[in-house]
Amino acid sequence: MQAVLFDLDGTLLHTLPDIALCLNETLKLFHYPVCTDEQVRKFVGDGAEKLIERALPEGADNVAEVYAKFRELYGKSAHALTRPYDGIEELLRELKGRGVKLAVITNKPQEATVPSVEKFFKGIFDFIGGDSGMFPVKPDPALARYCALTLRVPVKECVFVGDGEPDVRTAKSAGMRSVSALWGYRTREELFFAGATEFASSPKELQKILTEF
């Protein structure tokens, strides 16, 4: 193992409260019903555009307009409600100390991804990749493969860690090993049916698993 690629929301950071806040602010601007935290939890994972499509009432014809406003509001967010999961910072620093290259691969808009990563993990990651429009979002493996190429690490020597179904499928399509994080926004059963075979219930357990790769 030479590199670990991490999903962001639900894996490194608990971002749901800020996502829900910005989403509901956006929905209110367009006079749509707001979403509960549980609904938002189910809607996230496949990118901001899919989040908006799922949050809007059936038949809404202004998805693009609502999506653009959400990206604007979330991009300006101070992420005041976001926090790293317990044990994540220690895990990252331990991996960094061993010379492992670290990357973020997320479906979050790039303009929100970079400030989030820099706020909580400044100087730790060697590659930060969000939805910039240059690559299709996960589970398409293009960005993950581009990351490996940029880091000069063979895909078979990369491990992909994430809490969602797209992360499992991305790793498989990219030819990488994967570990599913159970502290995020999906259940073990949901991840298992997506094809996950390795699971970590905490960052500490993940650290142990990664030392064996």
Catalytic residues: 7
Kindly list the strands in the beta sheet with 158-162, ordered across the sheet, starting from the edge strand earlier in the chain. Answer: 127-131, 101-109, 3-6, 158-162, 177-181, 199-200
Q: Where are the beta strands (DSSP E) in the chain?
A: 3-6, 13-14, 83-84, 101-109, 127-131, 158-162, 177-181, 199-200
Round to whole Å and give the CA distance between 65 and 69.
6
By C-alpha distance, which of 199, 178, 177 is closest to 188?
Answer: 199
First to last CA, the chain: 6
